[in-house]
Structure 1
Amino acid sequence: MRRVSLIVGLSVAALVAGCAPSVRRAPLAAAVASPIDWREPVPANAVAADTQWWRRLSDPALVPLVERALANNTDVLVAVARVEEAEAAIRQTRAGRLPTLDAQGAAGAQRALNELTGAGAETVFAQPALAGAWNLDLFGRVRALEGAARARYVASQADRDATRLSVVSSTVRSYVTLLSLGAQLQVSRNTLASRQEALRIATDRATVGYSSQLELTQAQSEFEAVAQTIPRIEQAYRVQENALRRLTGDLPGVVARGTLETMALPSPPTGLSSTLLRRRPDLLSAEYAIVAADRQIASRRAEFLPNVQLTGSAGALFVEALGWDPVTLWDIGGSILAPIFAGGRLTAQLDVATAQRDQAAFAYRGAVLTAFGEVENALSGERRLREQFDRVTRRRAILQRSLVLARDRYRGGYAAYIEELDAQRNLFQVDLDAIAVREAQLNNLVQLWAALGGGWEDRDIQVQAKDLGVRALR
Structure 2
Amino acid sequence: MIRHSLLCVASALALAGCVAGPPPEVATPAPALPEAYFYAPNATTEVTLSALLPVEDPAFDTLAAQALAGSPTLGEAAARIEQARAGADRAVAERLPSIGANASVTGQRTNPSQFGSDLPPGIAFDTERVSYAANLTARWDPDIFDRLRAQERAALARVDAATASARGVRNALLAEIAASVIDWRTLSGREEAIRSDLAAAEDLARLAAVRERAGIAPGFDRVRAESAASASRSRLAALAGERSRLVGRLVTLTAQSAQLVRAALVQAAPPPRIDAVPASLPSSLLINRPDVLAAASTLAAEDAELAATARRRFPTFDLSAVIGLLTFNLADLFDEESLVGSLAGSVAGPLLDFGRIEAEIDGAAAEKQAAFQAYRGAVYTALGDAEAGYGVASGAAAEAEAAAREAAELARAARLANTRYEAGLSDFLIVLEARRAADASGERAAAAAGRVQRARVLLWQALGGSDLP
Structure 2 counterpart of 1:103, which letter? A
- Would you say 1:178 and 2:156 are equivalent positions? no
2:404 to 393, 396, 416: 393
Contact 1:47 1:268 in 2 (8 A): no
Deviates more, 1:341-350 or 1:320-329: 320-329
1:90-129 mapped onto 2 (5 Å cutoff): 90-115=88-113, 121-129=127-135
Instruction: Measure how far apart 1:54 and its partner are.
Output: 5.5
Which residue of the partner structure matches residue 78 of structure 1?
Answer: 76
Which residue of the partner structure matches residue 156 of structure 1?
Answer: 162
Which residue of the partner structure matches residue 194 of structure 1?
Answer: 200
Instruction: Measure how far apart 1:412 and its partner are.
Output: 4.0
Q: Distance in 2 between matches of 1:139 and 1:118?
A: 54
Which residue of the partner structure matches residue 147 of structure 1?
Answer: 153
Contact 1:57 1:264 in 2 (8 A): no
- Would you say 1:275 and 2:281 are equivalent positions? no
Secondary structure of the residue aligned to 1:108 is strand
Q: Distance in 2 between matches of 1:443 and 1:134?
A: 58
Contact 2:327 2:338 in 1 (8 A): yes
Which residue of the partner structure matches residue 315 of structure 1?
Answer: 324
Alignment CA distance shift 1:284-1:170 (3 Å): same
Deviates more, 1:170-179 or 1:195-204: 195-204
Q: Distance in 1 between matches of 2:442 and 2:268?
A: 15
Contact 2:52 2:277 in 1 (8 A): no
Q: Distance in 1 between matches of 2:106 and 2:76?
A: 51
Instruction: Measure how far apart 1:296 and its partner are.
Output: 0.4
Deviates more, 1:13-22 or 1:52-61: 52-61
Deviates more, 1:245-254 or 1:264-273: 245-254
Alignment RMSD (CA, Å): 3.0
1:231 to 237, 248, 253: 237
Which residue of the partner structure matches residue 120 of structure 2?
Answer: none
Alignment CA distance shift 1:131-1:44 (3 Å): closer
Secondary structure of the residue aligned to 1:303 is helix
Structure 2 counterpart of 1:256, which letter? L
Which residue of the partner structure matches residue 290 of structure 1?
Answer: 299
Contact 1:277 1:284 in 2 (8 A): yes
Structure 1 counterpart of 2:454, which letter? N
Deviates more, 1:432-441 or 1:100-109: 100-109
Which residue of the partner structure matches residue 88 of structure 1?
Answer: 86
Contact 1:104 1:129 in 2 (8 A): yes
Q: Distance in 2 between matches of 1:119 and 1:339?
A: 47
1:260-288 alpha-carbon deviations (Å, 9 max, x no partner) = 87111112111123333223233222212
1:339 to 350, 354, 357: 350
Secondary structure of the residue aligned to 2:321 is strand
Structure 1 counterpart of 2:247, which letter? E
1:143-200 alpha-carbon deviations (Å, 9 max, x no partner) = 1100001111222232233333332222222211111112112222332233233333
Which is higher, the Rg of structure 1 or of structure 2? Answer: 2
Contact 2:53 2:456 in 1 (8 A): no
Structure 2 counterpart of 1:365, which letter? R
Contact 1:183 1:259 in 2 (8 A): no
Secondary structure of the residue aligned to 1:408 is helix
Alignment CA distance shift 1:57-1:317 (3 Å): closer
Alignment CA distance shift 1:120-1:102 (3 Å): closer
- Would you say 1:18 and 2:27 are equivalent positions? no
Secondary structure of the residue aligned to 1:392 is helix
Alignment CA distance shift 1:20-1:428 (3 Å): farther
Secondary structure of the residue aligned to 2:143 is coil
Q: Distance in 2 between matches of 1:66 and 1:395?
A: 35
Instruction: Measure how far apart 1:376 and its partner are.
Output: 1.3
- Would you say 1:306 and 2:315 are equivalent positions? yes
Q: Distance in 1 between matches of 2:342 and 2:125?
A: 36
Alignment CA distance shift 1:249-1:45 (3 Å): farther
Contact 2:132 2:330 in 1 (8 A): no
Contact 1:317 1:329 in 2 (8 A): yes
- Would you say 1:425 and 2:436 are equivalent positions? yes
Instruction: Measure how far apart 1:2 and its partner are.
Output: 5.0
Instruction: Measure how far apart 1:411 and its partner are.
Output: 3.5
Contact 1:39 1:376 in 2 (8 A): yes
Which residue of the partner structure matches residue 46 of structure 2?
Answer: 47
Instruction: Measure how far apart 1:93 and its partner are.
Output: 0.7
Structure 2 counterpart of 1:346, which letter? I
- Would you say 1:221 and 2:208 are equivalent positions? no
Structure 2 counterpart of 1:169, which letter? A
Instruction: Measure how far apart 1:38 and its partner are.
Output: 1.7
Q: Distance in 2 between matches of 1:198 and 1:128?
A: 102
Which residue of the partner structure matches residue 468 of structure 1?
Answer: none
Deviates more, 1:246-255 or 1:206-215: 206-215
Structure 2 counterpart of 1:403, which letter? A
Secondary structure of the residue aligned to 1:228 is helix
Q: Distance in 1 between matches of 2:432 and 2:247?
A: 34
Q: Distance in 2 between matches of 1:119 and 1:154?
A: 66
Q: Distance in 1 between matches of 2:150 and 2:400?
A: 56
Secondary structure of the residue aligned to 2:376 is helix
Which residue of the partner structure matches residue 258 of structure 2?
Answer: 252
- Would you say 1:371 and 2:370 are equivalent positions? no
Instruction: Measure how far apart 1:424 and its partner are.
Output: 2.0
Secondary structure of the residue aligned to 2:453 is helix
Structure 2 counterpart of 1:34, which letter? L
Alignment CA distance shift 1:118-1:135 (3 Å): closer
Q: Distance in 1 between matches of 2:108 and 2:344?
A: 31
Alignment CA distance shift 1:342-1:230 (3 Å): farther
Contact 1:66 1:248 in 2 (8 A): yes
2:462 to 441, 451, 454: 451
Contact 1:49 1:271 in 2 (8 A): no
1:330-380 alpha-carbon deviations (Å, 9 max, x no partner) = 332222221234454322322222122112111111111111112211222
Deviates more, 1:213-222 or 1:317-326: 317-326
Contact 2:47 2:276 in 1 (8 A): no
Contact 1:314 1:331 in 2 (8 A): yes
Instruction: Measure how far apart 1:293 and its partner are.
Output: 0.7
Secondary structure of the residue aligned to 1:173 is helix
Alignment CA distance shift 1:429-1:45 (3 Å): farther
Deviates more, 1:326-335 or 1:302-311: 326-335
Contact 2:138 2:320 in 1 (8 A): yes
Instruction: Measure how far apart 1:6 and its partner are.
Output: 4.5
Q: Structure 2-normalised TM-score? A: 0.87
Instruction: Measure how far apart 1:258 and its partner are.
Output: 5.8
Which residue of the partner structure matches residue 59 of structure 1?
Answer: 57
Q: Distance in 2 between matches of 1:444 and 1:290?
A: 32
